[in-house]
Chains A and B, each alone.
Chain A
Amino acid sequence: MNQACAHIIDDDEAIRDALEWQFRTRGVACTLWPGAEAFLAAWQAEWQGCIVLDIRMGGMSGLECFDALLARDCRMPVIFITGHGDVPMAVGALKKGAFDFIEKPFSDNELITVVEKALAADAERQRAAADRETVEARLATVTAREREVMALILEGKFNKVIADDLNISMRTVEAHRAKIFDKMGVRSAVELAQMLTGIRY
């Protein structure tokens, strides 16, 4: 179950069955859920892939399910499907962060295309998360003094200026710089800056 797949949540068995068949013909793995409640009961945070959610269902509606997922901080992209174009509902859902909104009946492979995009986006998200973990691990090895020097380097200051600011010799600054680059696995200040974008240090 840890493998990335499309979670199809629809109370109509025929739809589930038809989508499963269609997805199979395109080689997209999918899991079928007869209702929102069943899905939420089984959901685990480390699941990957995307969710195809019918808005109008007996029991919990698609929108309610979406809200519950947001509350649980689920990052999986959600694609809504609905029988009739309910535009305000769709806009509301998209604003909350839904991935897309598809009307039934689906033309050709429209849904599958969107699902494939969602899966790719999720994979990308997973990878980015992994990268950040690596950077954070490397940052952990940098000493407090080195961090001070690093902050000034990221501000684009020359070694001489850094030496004056911190009241240390140029040589010491050069030594710190070499150590930092080594620890972070970069060769230039620009590379360092790119790596640390979006990460608190």
Chain B
Amino acid sequence: MDLLDRYLAAVAALLPKAQREDIVAELRDILLTQMEEKEAELGRPLDAREREAVLKAFGHPIAVAGRFGTPRALIGPELYPFYAFGVKALLVVAAVASAIPVVIGALTDPGGAGGGFARFLSSFLATGLTMIGAATVLGAGIERGWIPLGGAADWRVADLPRLDALAPRRRGLPRKGPRQRRFEALLEVILTALFILWWTGLVPAPWASHVANSDMVLRPAPIWAALYWPLLAWAGVQLASSLIGLLRPGWVRARAALEVVCGLAGLALAVVLWRAGRLVVVGLEGAGGSNADGVAGLQTALDLSFHLTATVMIAVLTIKIAVELWRLFRGAGPAPA
């Protein structure tokens, strides 16, 4: 097999079977013509090195075969802006999801916070690269029509969020920009999803149940068992609302309505928790009872702080419901000019 045959065989291996023979025959003719022209120019037959130079100048077999295929990018220019936006959003999700367990771990067990950054980096790289890979496979599938978008590709101007990026800044508090609103919604989605996963036992709690440097342990009070389904339902509605804020920011009224529902449910839950008084029961690891004073002191402190927290929650949720009700009715009106 001479160099030309070897070169053409390498190209042929990369061509579609149906056209292989035809394209290779034409390439052979082109290359032989080029070699003959060169020979006529030099007035002598080409040596092996000169023949190889002609083949090399024609292009690498992968490039030559690629020119005869259907030219198609993995992610085309039409899809690329959406792909790039999605990848950025996924990287934020990966960063936040990787940071939360590390931060909680550092707060609950300050002594074990040494490898925090390494744990974050390891988790972020693994999660981020997996997400980018999944987004690329999804994008390539959409690009090739394997994944039909159907109505998902449709959009309405009326669904765009009411942003103030072009409006003159008012005096007093600056308004939130589009990125800030989206980021908040994204953060809500991540936190609520993590809460649901933890609440349903699908992922372990990222904090320790025993108090650092002591034999005391914290156990959930019986009230939480009674609130299992109400809390799960509340988190589900919150997740739906956050997803609307992230994916359909123009649905102002739908989100406000869900936020009102969440706020009312949260208010009811806060009242129940306030009445229950005790949310965490302090106990001792093992059967020992040598630290009864410490247990009683911590229990009182926790009861007091949770009671205060529930009171603040009730106040905050009442304000939030009022704000969302105002937004619900303002959302019905025309957008400000």
Q: Is B one of A's binding partners?
A: no
B interface residues, Cβ below 8 angstroms from A = none
